[in-house]
Homo-oligomer: A and B are copies of this chain.
Amino acid sequence: VRIDLNADVGESSGLDEAVMQAITSANVAAGVHAGNASELRRTIRLARDRGVAVGAHPGFADAAGFGRRDVHLAAADLEDLVLYQVAAVAGVAAAEGVRLRHVKPHGAMYNMAAKDAEMAAAIARAIHACDPSLIVYGLPRSELLDAARAMGLRTAAEGFADRGYQRDGTLVPRDREGALVVDARAVAERAVRIVKDHVVAAVDGFDVPLHVDTICIHGDTPGAGQLAVAVRSALEAAGITVAPVL
């Protein structure tokens, strides 16, 4: 039994060093929705020195909205925007002796591409054009993962141990009660159940099936570092191998 732990980094949270102690894959902001050239490079070096796999984390060109606001682009423009960001992160990583391993879209782009097949295909084309060996991260059963597989790209389905789930397997929206699980022990227990039993308890108490290759640790909330360490320790104590996606 094996799982990858990933976190979004390079987003000026001030918590990257702490989070990087526990994760196995780092999604590095490409300097468009967050970060900048120097933070990008520094974060890549940090991941390299910690043995953490490096991925690109492209987002909409809406830094003032932290990439969380829906942006409606023509498919070709979305493709270009993702290609640009993946190319930049891959090139900076190469200058640091690191081969880019994966791509995980950010925020509104991630959510829109989960449901919109045209957007999903545009993103998959961009990633494929950059490097066909890249792994695409996304929600299980999302349009994004379908589009990636259709192009021959490898994929990783992602779950969230610190977010509430609804009975239909979707996340509780951020403005509803139960959106976040804050107790570190509870988060760790959920992570273990997700990996070992392939289920997560929904907000109404029912168990929901969840098959994932990687678990996301939110890196921008205070205490993210301790939370990541607690999750990793609990997983390892349960005999699970914590390592990058194969």
Contact = CB atoms under 8 A, between A and B. Distances in A.
A14 B175 contact: yes
A12 interface: yes
Given A64-B33, A95-B83, A174-B14, A38 B77 contact: yes
Contacts of A65: 12, 34-36, 39
A31 to B, nearest CB: 6
A95 B35 CA distance: 24
A63 B59 CA distance: 13
B32 A64 contact: yes
> How many protomers of this protein does the assembly include?
4
Interface in A36-58: 36-41
Interface in A195-239: 221-223, 225-226
A93 B159 CA distance: 35
B223 A179 contact: yes
A91 B126 CA distance: 11
B84 A87 contact: no
A61 interface: yes
A168 interface: no
Given A69-B12, A182-B182, A225-B175, A38 B92 contact: no
Contacts of A83: 37, 41, 91-92, 95
A118 interface: no
A147 interface: no
B223 A180 contact: yes
Query: 10 closest A-B pairs (Cβ-Cβ)?
Result: A87-B91, A63-B63, A37-B84, A88-B88, A180-B222, A179-B222, A12-B65, A95-B129, A38-B80, A37-B80
Interface of A: 11-15, 17-18, 31-41, 61, 63-66, 68-69, 76-77, 80-81, 83-88, 90-92, 94-95, 129-130, 173-175, 177, 179-180, 182, 221-223, 225-226
15 contacts: A11-B66, A12-B68, A13-B174, A31-B84, A32-B64, A35-B64, A37-B83, A40-B84, A41-B80, A41-B83, A84-B88, A87-B90, A87-B91, A175-B222, A179-B222
